[in-house]
């Protein structure tokens, strides 16, 4: 007979196991209809329409199934070149983001600490009055999730209407170093290649990048080639093992900042082995280094000999010492780049951008590709990925940054200001020449009291959640709470960490509740139409901007009038009669997006980022700029910029032409930057590296994905990934809640030992999606000198058991 | 106090025991009898000595000189290959009740019809090979059924199929408050007349392999094809343009203008 | 001598299936555990695997039950090594 004691144990274990499946999250309740929904969908009257996915910068197209005014299904769009009918787990469930029960549906004003419902008219008036009273201390914080017309309207309102350059987007935290890297190298922003490179490369190198989780549709475009029998070598260079590592042939584990040394090491060997592409370099490249006294993005030209001299010390052995990657592996990489018969594509995203040497490392990796000639042929491409759906389209192209103007222009250049004043029909001198505050500075000034020189008093935030995403929240955001005279206005769809401190909350329409346009990572501009009504009184962000502008216009604010005294956002019908689009019930009398886009399109030809007319985008699943009209009247997109075989702007007779070269000679710049250590390194007091990032199931701050049942069940909480030995040494158990402490703040998180990602000893990783566990209380605000982008990927922390933390405090 | 300690300790032990079983099974609950298949038991029951089919083990040194290959008794006997356990021509009478139950279970794993199903069991290994081991051809074992993939081979399974919460976070409250109501599971296709082949009531995209659900040994009860030997399904069953993005959906069918017939 | 922790899933809330739950409770080898929503946890402690399989089939066929999932299985190896009680295929 079975030992009865053991049997009882087994029975209780079995009961615990079964019970956990009942009480836990594995139960999938049958979808219950809300009381508001009288008719359940039955596929009768179902209609499908195209839209780009709301989430990342990949830019997949989805087919949205709408029935009785509600989104009921989503499918991958088979006609879309980006995703060819596939999506990721977020994309398949994107329809649900509209239907969280706590959607904001009414403007809310904080009165005596209490949020009270108010009418839209009152809300717009409050905002307009604050701006009217003090236009220079107003700032607008936007987003790479702004649609192109939203960003364009905000840009024109601020820089044209108010003559105020304090407009910056969250993409400053995400893409700024990629921008400066492109500008420093090619003289013009955005990638030369496109996703076709992924179909043609023989070697894929991921630099501090985990596309298997963050850009899964692009990554499986490569791994699916492999399962069809093609031979592709994937080399993962990273600071921790990830799902990308699982698919990689080689994993090179580097120390934080090792990427700088590795790229220098590859260039050193290419020169030493004399197998760099001499003809390409001779015809198409210059060498460039930073100025000694005040380094600028422009840098100064150096000779090839000088370049050789400076790079000489980056021998494989020295690089091994700096990066932790074995000298032989550096040689392996250099040999690959030295082989012109293979095609190499590099992929990177936040690992190289959220970096205090972000501009430098972006430039260096471009330099590796240029020096080796692995550039400009399909499959040979340095490819920077974006994290937001329109970081390229809205932020980089419309230029919603503190120093920029639309179409690659900058406020500092008089001729650029004049051109914009011309397009906008403004009085000369309307645009301010001094760049405004970049993100970190903007929030620093907003959360500092006016007496201490905090000269931003009113801040309008649209389509983003800085209360969760800014670094070092205790320094840059949380102080708002105690500042009575600072006024925070937040337009959002759900309550967030940012609305928690807002004085005025504006309920916004999202995604297919409004018309929109996005621009993805491969220069592809995408369009969609409104398909369903927003809930309650939620309204379009573009409308909010226009309504505020019109209220100022009514109050007599001069900047809201153009040279001829007309409202700067005037939209006229065919008979020349003005349509009052600032009244929301008249907003959809016309397609405001189309009016704004056609106006914006004029700006795009200067930097050869030509866009097609709006109606062309209605027909297409996005088009990659430059889109040029053909003789037969059709519009042709461009896949490979600067390469004669595809780019219509390359000079006749040239194989490659960098026609916006910063040296004005059609050449790209190969940069040298000296390695520098990270600003904060682990020490006795804070002995661990902290890296932050994302997970497959959640997108950014999780305000959308954490309201989707299948995704939130799959990843219900943020956690800290830890190496087994580190956990053992600190006597920390699986799942135990610990405190992560840095010099700036603390965050409590459950431990996942050897979790989905596996950091090496001495490193911990925390995803930032969970608004109940704000890891950005811990991160560092140190940033790149050129791009002003903070480094979220490395700072020093300690992991403390909670019991011990209580004793010590 | 003492009782609390006991409860606490027994909980710890219970968790340890679960951990042990989960651990040895790579996180997948082991169905009863997994290691005791009838085949194995019978094999072991025979004594090795009396079985001419067993080849005695030899030392490494002897391998080179030992004849390998079919044994004498095997060669002497006419062999029949094991028959498929699935008979294509069994008469199938799908039951409405089973179909209803299957539909409900399938629906419970999808946010809407057409969404990739979530993974209804714990997973530790997330490599493609781990998923393919069961889901490429399907497995049915002790009441558990691994469905056959209805689409072509695609890598990175978890790109589309959301897993259950990771082991350490299974008890975190992951409830979501939502008003989303998805497209329901299809009931049946339309028939032009009684006896006509029904149309396909769902999109075919990512469901190219009809027999994954509608036939084969691992299809869904109540949804089986009554004629699994016919393999060119769309020869008779028309796909749905509305659901399938196959052709642009238009409000009216474009036709040539009527013939210009002169009437005297 | 298998002991298994199972999760019974009903087509709707557990409360609506009192009859089936009564039938489950009536099986002497079964202990009822907690329930939530449409799910009910049970533990089956039976003498033989054949009996375990019978109980499985019985529960699965009860009205309203749409799924039966295994949470954990344990069995005493020594008790049954000599028995050749093969598990039948589910056909």
Q: Predicted confidence band at B19 (pLDDT cuts at 50, 70, 90)?
A: low
Q: For A615-665, how does the pLDDT look when each residue is reduced to its tens digit (9 = 90+)?
A: 999 999 999 999 999 999 999 999 999 999 999 999 999 999 999 999 999
d(CA C45, nearest CA chain A) in Å: 7
Q: Which of A48, A87, A219 is nearest residue B245 as measured by Cβ atoms? A: A48
Tokens of B228: 């699994």
The pLDDT value given to residue C85: 33
Which of A17, A23, A24 to mutate to probe the C interface, most C CBs <10 Å?
A17
The span from the CA of A105 to the CA of A101, in Å, is 11
Q: Is C34 on the interface with B (CB under 8 A)?
A: no
Question: Does A170 show up as a binding residue in the annotation?
Answer: yes
C82, pLDDT greater than 70: no
Assess contact for A182 and A189: CB atoms under 8 A.
yes
Do C70 and B105 lie within an 8 Å CB cutoff?
A: no
ipTM of the complex: 0.81
A594, part of any domain: no
Residue A245, phi-psi category: left (phi > 0), alpha (psi -120 to 50), beta (remainder):
alpha
Q: Is B18 on the interface with C (CB under 8 A)?
A: yes
The pLDDT value given to residue A803: 75
The span from the CA of A600 to the CA of A623, in Å, is 16
Q: Which of B30, B42, B142 is nearest residue C87 as measured by Cβ atoms? A: B142
Q: Which of A1, A14, A16 is nearest residue C3 as measured by Cβ atoms? A: A14
Residue range(s) defining the domain that contains residue C22: 2-75
Assess contact for C34 and A23: CB atoms under 8 A.
yes
Angle, helix A148-155 to helix A592-601, in steps of 10 degrees:
70
Do B38 and C86 lie within an 8 Å CB cutoff?
A: yes
Which of A40, A221, A710 to mutate to probe the B interface, most B CBs <10 Å?
A710
> Domain total for chain A?
4
* Same domain (yes/no): A217, A261: yes
Q: Which of B112, B156, B205 is nearest residue A85 as measured by Cβ atoms? A: B205
3 state SS of A410: strand
Q: Is A413 on the interface with C (CB under 8 A)?
A: no
C37, part of any domain: yes
CATH number of the CATH domain containing A716:
2.40.40.20
Q: Is C84 on the interface with B (CB under 8 A)?
A: yes
Residue A701, phi-psi category: left (phi > 0), alpha (psi -120 to 50), beta (remainder):
alpha
C86, pLDDT greater than 80: no
C-chain CB neighbours of B36 within 8 Å are 86-87
* Same domain (yes/no): A147, A203: no
A310, part of any domain: yes
The span from the CA of C43 to the CA of B109, in Å, is 24
A459, part of any domain: yes
Which of A19, A29, A709 to mutate to probe the C interface, most C CBs <10 Å?
A19
Section C73-85 average pLDDT: 45
Which of A56, A94, A62 minimizes the C-alpha distance to A80?
A: A62
A-chain CB neighbours of B160 within 8 Å are 86-89, 92
The pLDDT value given to residue A187: 95
Q: For B51-77, how does the pLDDT look when each residue is reduced to its tens digit (9 = 90+)?
A: 666 666 777 877 777 777 666 666 777
Mean predicted lDDT score pLDDT of chain B: 76
Which of A284, A380, A258 minimizes the C-alpha distance to A655?
A: A284
d(CA C90, nearest CA chain A) in Å: 23
Q: Listing from the earlier edge strand, what are the strands of the sheet with A167-169?
A: A114-117, A108-111, A504-507, A487-492, A458-462, A138-142, A167-169
B203, pLDDT greater than 90: no
Write out the H or E segment, with its range, that includes residue A35.
none
* Same domain (yes/no): A740, A788: yes
Tokens of C67: 């799924």
A-chain CB neighbours of C39 within 8 Å are 21-22, 27
Do A713 and B243 lie within an 8 Å CB cutoff?
A: no
Q: Which of A25, A89, A752 is nearest residue B159 as measured by Cβ atoms? A: A89
Catalytic residues of A: 90, 174-175, 350, 387-388
Do C84 and B45 lie within an 8 Å CB cutoff?
A: yes
CA distances (Å), origin B241, targets A46, A61, A149, B112: 11, 19, 33, 18
Q: Predicted confidence band at B48 (pLDDT cuts at 50, 70, 90)?
A: low
The span from the CA of B237 to the CA of B215, in Å, is 15
Q: Is B174 on the interface with A (CB under 8 A)?
A: yes
Tokens of A263: 């790229």
d(CA C61, nearest CA chain A) in Å: 19
Last residue of a domain, one of A384, A407, A425: A384
Tokens of B238: 């028309």
C69, part of any domain: yes
C7, part of any domain: yes
Residue range(s) defining the domain that contains residue A451: 117-172+391-587
* pTM confidence score: 0.81
The pLDDT value given to residue A360: 97
* Parts of chain A with a pLDDT under 70: 1-6, 9, 16-17, 19-43, 804-809
Write out the H or E segment, with its range, that includes residue A163.
none
CATH number of the CATH domain containing A410:
3.40.50.740
Do B29 and C70 lie within an 8 Å CB cutoff?
A: yes
Question: Does A359 show up as a binding residue in the annotation?
Answer: no
A523, part of any domain: yes
Tokens of A445: 């000034």
Last residue of a domain, one of A384, A401, A418: A384
The pLDDT value given to residue C88: 31
Q: Is B140 on the interface with C (CB under 8 A)?
A: yes
Q: Which chains touch B (3 or more CB pairs under 8 A)?
A: A, C
* Same domain (yes/no): A79, A213: no
* Same domain (yes/no): A495, A557: yes
Do B165 and A223 lie within an 8 Å CB cutoff?
A: no
Q: Which of A73, A101, A219 is nearest residue B156 as measured by Cβ atoms? A: A219
* Same domain (yes/no): A435, A528: yes
> Domain total for chain C?
1
CB within 8 Å of chain B, chain C residues 36-65: 49, 52-53, 56, 60
* Same domain (yes/no): A430, A548: yes
A-chain CB neighbours of B185 within 8 Å are none
* Same domain (yes/no): A159, A191: no
CATH number of the CATH domain containing A53:
3.30.200.210
Section B219-239 average pLDDT: 86
B25, pLDDT greater than 90: no
Do C7 and A23 lie within an 8 Å CB cutoff?
A: no
Q: Predicted confidence band at B2 (pLDDT cuts at 50, 70, 90)?
A: low
B-chain CB neighbours of C70 within 8 Å are 29-32, 142-144
B with C: how many residue pairs have Cβ under 8 Å apart?
A: 64
CATH number of the CATH domain containing C30:
3.30.70.920
A-chain CB neighbours of C33 within 8 Å are 15, 18-19, 22
* Same domain (yes/no): A415, A364: no
C10, part of any domain: yes
At a CB cut-off of 8 Å and minimum separation 6, what does A569 contact? A153, A156, A157, A546, A549, A550, A581, A582
d(CA B146, nearest CA chain A) in Å: 17
Mean predicted lDDT score pLDDT of chain C: 75
* Same domain (yes/no): A344, A444: no
C85, part of any domain: no
Query: Which segments of B80-204 are extended strands (E)?
Result: 139-141, 144-146
C52, part of any domain: yes
Do A14 and C72 lie within an 8 Å CB cutoff?
A: yes
* Same domain (yes/no): A143, A287: no
B35, pLDDT greater than 80: no
Q: Is A519 on the interface with B (CB under 8 A)?
A: no
The pLDDT value given to residue B246: 56
Q: Predicted confidence band at C84 (pLDDT cuts at 50, 70, 90)?
A: very low
Do B162 and A63 lie within an 8 Å CB cutoff?
A: no
Last residue of a domain, one of A531, A564, A587: A587
Section B180-191 average pLDDT: 85
Q: Predicted confidence band at B251 (pLDDT cuts at 50, 70, 90)?
A: low
Q: Predicted confidence band at B245 (pLDDT cuts at 50, 70, 90)?
A: low
Degrees to nearest 5, angle at CA A190 with A186 and A196? 110
Tokens of A517: 């346009």
CB within 8 Å of chain A, chain B residues 59-98: none
A648, part of any domain: no
A62, part of any domain: yes
Question: Does A354 show up as a binding residue in the annotation?
Answer: yes
| Buried b / exposed e along A231-265 (16+ C-beta atoms within 10 A) | ebbbbbbbbbbbbbbebbeebbbbbbbbbbbbbbb
C12, part of any domain: yes
Degrees to nearest 5, angle at CA A573 with A571 and A578? 50
The pLDDT value given to residue B97: 87
C45, part of any domain: yes
B20, pLDDT greater than 90: no
Which of A130, A129, A107 minimizes the C-alpha distance to A118?
A: A107
* Same domain (yes/no): A756, A740: yes
């Amino acid at each position: 007979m079975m030992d009865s004691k053991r049997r009882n144990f087994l029975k209780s274990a079995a009961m615990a196991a079964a019970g956990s499946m009942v009480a836990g999250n594995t139960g999938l309740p049958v979808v219950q209809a809300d009381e508001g929904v009288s008719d359940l969908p039955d596929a009768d009257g179902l209609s499908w329409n195209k839209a780009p996915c709301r989430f990342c910068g990949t830019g997949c197209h989805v087919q949205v199934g709408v029935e009785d005014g509600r989104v009921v299904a989503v499918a991958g769009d088979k006609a879309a070149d980006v995703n060819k009918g596939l999506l990721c787990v977020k994309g398949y469930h994107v329809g649900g983001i509209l239907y969280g029960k706590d959607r904001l549906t009414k403007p809310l004003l904080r009165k005596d600490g209490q949020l009270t419902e108010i009418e839209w008219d009152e809300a717009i008036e409050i905002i307009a009055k604050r701006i009217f009273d003090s236009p220079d201390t107003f700032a607008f914080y936007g987003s790479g999730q702004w649609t192109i017309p939203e960003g364009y309207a905000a840009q024109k309102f601020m820089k044209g209407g108010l003559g105020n350059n304090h407009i910056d987007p969250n993409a400053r935290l995400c893409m700024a170093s990629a921008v400066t890297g492109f500008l420093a190298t090619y003289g013009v922003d955005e990638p030369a290649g496109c996703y076709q490179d992924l179909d043609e490369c023989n070697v894929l190198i991921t630099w501090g990048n985990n596309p298997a989780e963050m850009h899964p549709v692009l990554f499986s475009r490569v791994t699916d080639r492999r399962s069809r029998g093609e031979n592709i070598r994937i080399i993962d260079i990273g600071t921790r093992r990830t799902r990308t590592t699982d698919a990689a042939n080689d994993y090179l584990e580097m120390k934080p900042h090792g990427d700088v040394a590795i790229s220098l090491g590859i260039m050193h060997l290419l020169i030493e082995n004399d197998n760099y592409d001499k003809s390409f370099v001779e015809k198409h490249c210059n060498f460039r280094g930073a100025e000694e006294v005040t380094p600028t993005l422009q840098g100064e030209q150096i000779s090839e000999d000088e370049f050789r001299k400076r790079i000489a010390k980056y021998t494989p052995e020295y690089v091994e010492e700096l990066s932790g990657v074995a000298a032989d592996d550096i040689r392996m990489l250099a040999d690959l780049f030295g082989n012109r018969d293979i095609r190499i594509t590099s992929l990177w995203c936040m690992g190289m951008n959220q970096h205090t040497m972000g501009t430098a490392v972006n430039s260096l990796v471009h330099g590796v590709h240029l020096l080796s000639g692995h550039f400009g042929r399909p499959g040979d491409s340095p490819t920077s990925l974006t994290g937001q759906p329109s970081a390229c389209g809205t932020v980089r192209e419309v230029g919603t940054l503190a120093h920029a103007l639309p179409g690659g222009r900058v406020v500092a250049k008089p001729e650029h200001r004049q051109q914009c004043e011309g397009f906008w029909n403004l009085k000369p001198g309307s645009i301010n020449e001094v760049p405004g505050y970049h993100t970190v500075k903007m929030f620093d000034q907003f959360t500092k009291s006016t007496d201490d020189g905090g000269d931003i008093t009113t801040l309008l935030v649209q389509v983003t959640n800085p209360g969760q995403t800014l670094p070092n929240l205790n320094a840059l955001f949380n102080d708002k709470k105690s500042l009575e005279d600072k006024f925070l206005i937040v337009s959002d769809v759900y309550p967030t960490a940012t609305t928690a401190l807002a004085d005025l909350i504006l309920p916004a329409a999202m995604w297919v509740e409004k018309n929109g346009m996005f621009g993805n990572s491969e220069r592809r501009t995408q369009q969609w139409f409104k398909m369903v009504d927003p809930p309650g009184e939620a309204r379009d962000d573009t409308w909010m901007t226009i309504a505020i502008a019109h209220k100022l216009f009514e109050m007599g604010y001069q900047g809201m009038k153009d040279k001829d005294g007309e409202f700067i956002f005037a939209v006229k019908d065919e008979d020349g009669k003005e349509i009052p689009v600032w009244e929301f019930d008249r907003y959809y009398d016309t397609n405001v997006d189309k009016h704004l886009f056609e106006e914006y399109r004029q700006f795009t030809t200067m930097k050869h980022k030509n866009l097609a007319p709006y109606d062309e985008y209605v027909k297409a699943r996005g088009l990659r700029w430059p889109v040029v009209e053909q003789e037969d009247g059709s519009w042709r997109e461009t896949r490979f910029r600067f390469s004669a075989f595809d780019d219509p702007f390359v000079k006749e007779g040239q194989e490659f032409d960098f026609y916006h070269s910063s040296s004005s000679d059609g050449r790209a710049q190969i940069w040298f930057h000296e390695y520098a250590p990270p600003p904060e390194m682990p020490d006795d007091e804070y002995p661990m590296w902290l890296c932050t990032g994302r997970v497959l199931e959640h997108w950014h701050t999780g305000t959308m994905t954490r309201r989707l049942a299948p995704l939130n069940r799959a990843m219900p909480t943020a956690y800290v990934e830890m190496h087994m030995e580190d956990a053992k040494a600190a006597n920390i158990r699986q799942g135990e809640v610990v405190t992560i402490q840095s010099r700036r703040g603390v965050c409590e998180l459950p431990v996942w030992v050897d979790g989905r990602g596996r950091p090496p000893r001495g490193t911990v990783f925390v995803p930032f999606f969970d608004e109940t566990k704000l890891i950005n209380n811990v991160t560092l605000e140190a940033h790149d000198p050129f791009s002003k982008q903070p480094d979220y990927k490395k700072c020093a922390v300690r992991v403390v058991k909670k019991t011990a933390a209580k004793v010590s405090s | 106090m003492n009782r609390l300690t006991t409860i606490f300790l027994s909980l710890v032990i219970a968790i340890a025991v679960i951990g042990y079983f989960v651990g040895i099974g790579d996180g997948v609950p082991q169905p009863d009898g997994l290691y005791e298949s009838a085949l194995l038991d019978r094999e072991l029951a025979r004594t090795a000595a009396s079985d001419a089919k067993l080849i005695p083990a030899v030392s490494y040194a002897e391998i080179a000189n030992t004849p390998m290959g079919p044994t004498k008794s095997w060669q002497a006997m006419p062999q029949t290959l094991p028959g498929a356990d699935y008979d294509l021509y069994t008469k199938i009478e799908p039951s409405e009740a089973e179909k209803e139950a299957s539909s409900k279970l399938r629906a419970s794993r999808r946010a809407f019809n057409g969404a990739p199903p979530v993974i209804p069991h714990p997973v530790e290994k997330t490599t493609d090979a781990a998923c393919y081991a069961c889901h490429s051809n399907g497995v049915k074992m002790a009441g558990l059924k691994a469905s056959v993939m209805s689409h072509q081979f695609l890598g990175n399974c978890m790109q589309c199929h959301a897993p259950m919460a990771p082991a350490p976070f299974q008890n975190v409250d992951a409830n979501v408050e939502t008003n989303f109501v998805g497209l329901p599971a299809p009931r049946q296709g339309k028939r032009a007349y009684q006896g006509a082949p029904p149309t396909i009531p769902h999109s075919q995209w990512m469901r190219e392999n009809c027999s994954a659900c509608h036939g084969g040994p691992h299809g869904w009860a109540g949804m089986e094809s009554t004629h699994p030997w016919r393999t060119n399904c769309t020869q008779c069953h028309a796909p749905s343009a509305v659901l399938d993005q196959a052709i642009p959906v238009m409000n009216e069918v474009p036709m040539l203008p009527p013939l210009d017939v002169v009437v005297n | 001598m298998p002991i298994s922790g199972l999760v019974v899933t009903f087509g709707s809330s557990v409360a609506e299936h009192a009859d089936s739950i009564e039938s489950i409770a009536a099986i002497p080898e079964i202990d009822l555990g907690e329930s939530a929503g449409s799910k009910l946890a049970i533990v089956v402690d039976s003498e033989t695997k054949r009996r375990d399989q019978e109980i499985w089939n019985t529960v699965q066929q009860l009205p309203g039950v749409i799924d039966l999932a295994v949470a954990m299985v344990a069995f005493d190896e020594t008790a049954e090594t000599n028995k050749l009680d093969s598990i039948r295929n589910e056909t």
